Chain A
Amino acid sequence: MVETILIIAEQALLHFPLILGAYISVSLMKVPDLSIESAYVFGALCASTALPFVHHLPSIVSIPIIICASLSGGICVGLTSSLLTQKAHIPHLLSSIITIGIFHGVSQLIAGVYLSLSGYKNLLTIEIIPLHPELPFLGIIFIICTLIAIYFFKTELGYSLAVFGNNPNFFANYGISSSYIFMIGIIIANALAGLSGYLFAQSNGFADINMGFGKLLLCVTALILGKSIHHKTLSVITPIVGLFGYFTLQQLLLKVGFDLRYFTAVQALVIVIILISHYKKNESLNSDHLGV
């Protein structure tokens, strides 16, 4: 039982920055931010490429450098897709598809298909919990991200992102730059996805260019789950509840002998069941309020 809880915690914490990013772009801003998958991969690849140069340095130096590298990878992706949307006036769904194409090629150029991290020191390891040496470090990242998010969601920018999702025409009436808010939101979301990509790559010991596949579905499932349990605008609790709910469901299915290869189908079914049940109950929550 304890082991299952630790596995759930580890999996959830590895994906926490990603889900926080998706909460910002998909849920608050209500933007179809497909490029988050690309940011996840590119962040992992940037950090993995930087790792050989810094892994021998003291952790206090190497960890911030690697985290910055992973965030920068995500920022590059976010900047590309948001610039295409705002400056080239391409609809965001299309610009994020184009961005995925661009960064799939760039990733291959930088890293090939696969980058192994097994030859280098695992920066996430703090030997406190046997069998789960990365959990304390992931816990620290979780606490830092949560505290920053709690503060951020009370700021002008945090509110602006939620307003963007609720009424994108709002800003034009008050002389506020809508494109600035859009770009900042997408860049933050993608940067967080990049960080999560690195955590996952470091934990697994490798980064490959297909590791982002299905991550957006994970995010959407977790966010819909989170919103159906805890519905409040601008709350960091929603993604946290959704994320832990998601991995608990996954582990429960594993316990009853379910083959996880078919889990994507379960995710899709969970989304459909939650959405239909809300329509049936005719609650004030509609699919838009669930945020996708």
Chain B
Amino acid sequence: MKKLIIKDMSFKFNEQQNYFFHTINITFESGNTYFIQGKNGVGKSTLFSILQGTAPRNALLVGTVVYDNKECIMRNNCIDQQLSSHVKTVVQNVNTMIVDAMTVEENLKLASLPMHPRCKPLSSIIALPAIMHEFTIDPLMNVEQLSGGQKQILAIMMALQKPTQILLLDEPTAALDEKNTHMVIQFLNTLAQKMDLIIIIITHDKELTQTYAQNRTIIIKKDIHETRTITFSS
């Protein structure tokens, strides 16, 4: 089991501003799905951008990030590329992550393209079409025919086409009904276990975190001195 440990991390955009979050300590373990809750502007997305290595360069960030017992070097607010290159994000609007005029299989292949695509045939799929089969997604289906939940699952699978250890999702169920929400969360749980991933989800949906209580919920609060992390475990 691998652990991602965030130690005494504080963040603010500049000297004059109050802290977004102050001395937070969170431990994530692989094979699990975590939910992050908090009001708008408490720094949930900022935490994601720190893990991706895209936090603003001129902001004030202190603290350490330890992954798999190795401390990640922070330079100019960017964590070591060795870790950030294994962090993948699924954005809130998944339509920007998929090509609806093409098939599921083509989409999966496109997600693994290199930075500069070459004049050679598309590579074959490396990730798990078997998991997708469990969720009745046929690789030859056109993406336009997929439901909202299936599109979300496809976007997650596409994000995983390149080597990934930590998967971040920004409100993946915001636009989904109950049935699709259940399908996506179930999929994420299966994925975390099968691929030994750390999955972190931002959500505003309290019902969601209560329903899926076997997962852990981290609530970040803005007030500088009272910022604390609360963990519900199963």
List residues of chain A with CB under 8 Å of any chain B CB: 152, 154-157, 159-160, 162-163, 166-167, 169-170, 173-177, 180-181, 233, 289
Contact = CB atoms under 8 A, between A and B. Distances in A.
A52 B115 CA distance: 43
Given A156-B119, A159-B117, A174-B158, 15 more contacts: A155-B119, A155-B121, A156-B113, A156-B123, A159-B122, A160-B113, A163-B102, A166-B100, A166-B102, A174-B111, A176-B113, A176-B115, A176-B117, A177-B115, A180-B116
Contacts, number: 79
B115 A175 contact: yes
What does DSSP make chain A's interface, helix, strand, loop or mixed? helix
Most buried by A among B95, B100, B115: B115
A161 to B, nearest CB: 9
Nearest to A154: B121
Contact of B120 (A156, A181, A233): A156
A155 B120 contact: yes
Contacts of A156: 113-114, 117-123
Q: For the side of the interface on B, what is the size category?
A: 20 to 34
Given A170-B97, A173-B96, A174-B162, A159 B106 contact: yes
A162 B116 CA distance: 15
B98 interface: yes
B99 interface: yes
B71 to A, nearest CB: 25
A167 B98 contact: yes
B91 interface: yes
B119 A167 contact: no
B122 A177 contact: no
Nearest to B89: A173
Interface string B159-176: 101100000000000000
B101 A233 contact: yes
A167 B99 contact: yes
A160 B99 contact: no
